[in-house]
Amino acid sequence: MSHSAKIQTAELDWELIDAIEVPISKQFGDVYFSKDNGLLETRHVFLNGNDLTERLSELEDFQYFCVGETGFGTGLNILTLWQLWQQVRPDNHSHLHAISVEKFPLSKADLIRTLNVWPELKPLAEQLIQQYPLPIAGCHRLSFPEQRFSIDLWLGDAQDIFPSIPKTQAVNAWFLDGFAPSCNPDMWQENVLNHIVRLSDYGTTFASFSVAGVLKRGLKQHGVHISRPRGFGHKREMLKAIWSDPSQTLTDPADAAEIKVQSERAPIASSSRPRQIAIIGAGIAGLSCAWAFAQRGHQVTIYEQDEPLSGASGNPLALLNPKLCPIEQAHEHLMTLSWQHALNFYSRFKAFRSIQVQQMALKNADELLGLAEQYPEAVLSVHDQQNATPETDYPSLTLHQAGAVSPQQLRDEILQHPNIQCIKAKISRLKCTDKQTELWQEQQLIATADDVIVCCAKQSAELFENYPPLKPIRGQVSWVENREQALALDQAYSYGGYCMQLDAAQLILGASFYPNRDDVDVLAEDHVHNYELIHSVFPEYAQQLPTVEHWQGRASVRAQSLDYFPLVGKIQNDGQIFTFAGLGSKGFLFAPLCSEVLAALVLGELCPVPQNLLDKLNPQRFQKKVKAKKPYYSG
């Protein structure tokens, strides 16, 4: 498939028309927006063509509305949509989600230049630019929670992306905007349109500046009803279409049957009240999940038998240090996708410190160092060893975009959210009733909830009959005073183990890794292990550290699934009980993206990962008879 290729940015020419700079694609030889006035065209064709003023202003509490787009381009359509949303959105918890696909994203500099043209969109453009992703294939979720607005920007070819998007909810309105079909036939292929319709439902609407035959035929064959009102500016016509329920509009039974096949209905209708979400376990999985639901206005109660962060998430510092994959796999590589999302997520919290990580090439040096050429320049560079501190013989790669999180501070910030409460209780049993789930502590019913998420690492198994195996892995981190030889605060090193400043006066070193052990005493031998790891790459530096008797430490047990993928989703298809566990030693990296996946599954939103990744996260993947033909989210 071609979508595995490296993303190329758009190449632009500029034409000055009535003091407005209009970008023109060199790749396609077409304009990004009307030379008459792009902003007015967007309002006329895409917003009015989908009746969005009325539909958005009528959204009820907690309703979710999704707009899909072919071709993000300069972001003009999405920003104009966002502006409308600001003007008409009701004062409730409704949410607007835009998903857009783009094969050749504008470079950030070009995006800034094009959006400069629209002063009235400036405040929104600035927020978009701030979160605008690197040109790396895959889904990038940009979140603006205080605006109740989010954008999934899928970078890649529409022909590959649309088939890969799981239908965890239907798109309500489409902006079909991929350059004129004559300049860009790929975008308007039957297969692309088939998937656009697959991701739709009865009531979904479509608008386009184009009334080309391929588009009309492609939509009509699915039973979509097309009208052709006046186009914008000099254009005579545009396309305005709706997919109506055939049982009400069609008489030909053959047509009706065909439409029905396309229409897998979305799982849960949006609720008209806050959902009561129970989360069991207050490690990073539980906390980040709680945040995802609370941000959407739902009421979250976390049940924790001990103290929050008492398990593997409670080390003094967590390092976000992904092992990046070859670029052609990035669009479906959980670690690479999680890394980008995690940096975006944590940077909202005071608990986050932006750092860079020097990844030492102990073996397969060419493979590791070769990654620098594959990724956008801002991400990776081969480290110049000449002035290396501390001194080492090994070559290394610098990952410029990494981070460190203080788990305790993050916990405090998350638990301050008004929609989250944390209760000390050991839940011993879950019982599904008609509409809700009961939470029992021994013989006592202590709560009911609409949805339950079990995030208790290995202990999650106690609440299910048939839970996938999780392997315990003992790990100990160490820390020691190093005031005299402190490293830069924004620098970490990774070499199998890792080290970085815990604060200005102490170095933290990680971590031992003993599969199938669940003891948590702090052991001198694990300090020695961490010492030996650092000594193997930085011998002189390591020798200057105080001896291990002076080291402090913390040991804990991580839970790892057998295939190293977290478990995210339902264990059984009935009821509203989910799990999120098995994050191994990458909990802080995986948690933010997986929490968004889980929220999409629970609430019925579009999901920020492709179907094959969703399947890899499916906790039912270990069951012998997986009903492979039925996507598990269809519930």
Residue 33 interacting with ligand SAM (CB under 6 A): yes
State in angstroms the smallest separation of the CB of 8 from ligand SAM. Answer: 10
Question: Facing residues of 481 across strands?
Answer: 506
CA distance 332 to 80: 30
Q: Which residue lies nearest ligand SAM, judged by its C-beta?
A: 71
What is the 3-state secondary structure of 183-200? Answer: CCHHHHCHHHHHHHHHCC
User: Of 12 and 454, which has the nearer Cβ to ligand SAM?
Assistant: 12
CA gap 232, 240 in Å, rounded: 13
Query: Which candidate, 313, 329, 381, places its Cα nearest to that of 590?
Result: 313
Burial 186-197 (b: 16+ CB within 10 A, else e): ebbeeebbbbbb
CA 5, CA 199: separation in Å to the nearest integer?
Answer: 24
Alpha-carbon distance 476 to 521, whole Å? 9
Residues 6+ apart with CB under 8 A from 436: 276, 448, 449, 450
Q: Is 77 in the site for ligand SAM (CB under 6 A)?
A: yes
Q: How far is the CB of 154 from ligand SAM (least distance, A)?
A: 8
Q: What is the rounded CA–CA span in Å between residue 51 and residue 410? A: 42
Q: Which residue has tokens 């945040």?
A: 291
User: How many residues would you count in the chain?
Assistant: 635
Pairing of strands 380-382, 396-405: antiparallel
Residue 152 lies near ligand SAM (rule: CB under 6 A): no
Give the nearer residue to ligand SAM in terms of CB position, either 158 or 594.
Answer: 158
Distances (CA, A) of 485 to 500, 544, 546: 12, 8, 11
Residues 170 to 189 in contact with ligand SAM, rule: CB under 6 A: 177-179, 184, 186-187
CB of 333 to ligand SAM, least distance (A): 20
Query: Using CB under 6 A as the criterion, what x/- string covers residues 9-28 for binding ligand SAM?
Result: -x------------------
State the minimum distance, in angstroms, from the CB of residue 343 to ligand SAM: 25
Q: Shortest approach of ligand SAM to residue 183 CB, angstroms?
A: 9
Among 43, 95, 103, 554, binds ligand SAM (CB under 6 A): 103
- The smaller minimum CB distance to ligand SAM, of residues 10 and 320, is found at 10
Q: By C-beta, is 101 or 312 nearer to ligand SAM?
A: 101
Report in angstroms how near the CB of residue 129 gets to ligand SAM at its nearest. Answer: 14
The reply on whether position 104 binds ligand SAM by CB under 6 A is yes
Query: At its nearest, how many Å lie between ligand SAM and the CB of residue 157?
Result: 4
User: Cβ of residue 179: shortest distance to ligand SAM, in angstroms?
Assistant: 5
* Binding of ligand SAM by 422 (CB under 6 A): no
Pairing of strands 173-176, 64-70: parallel
Footprint of ligand SAM on 109-148 (CB under 6 A) = none
Question: Beta strands 64-70 and 437-441: pairing type?
Answer: unpaired
Structure tokens at 361: 């090439």
* Structure token pair of residue 170: 């239907």
Q: For residues 50-69, which are near ligand SAM according to CB under 6 A?
A: 69
Q: Contact between 291 and ligand SAM (CB under 6 A)?
A: no
* Interface with ligand SAM (CB under 6 A): 10, 32-33, 69, 71-77, 101-104, 157-159, 177-179, 184, 186-187
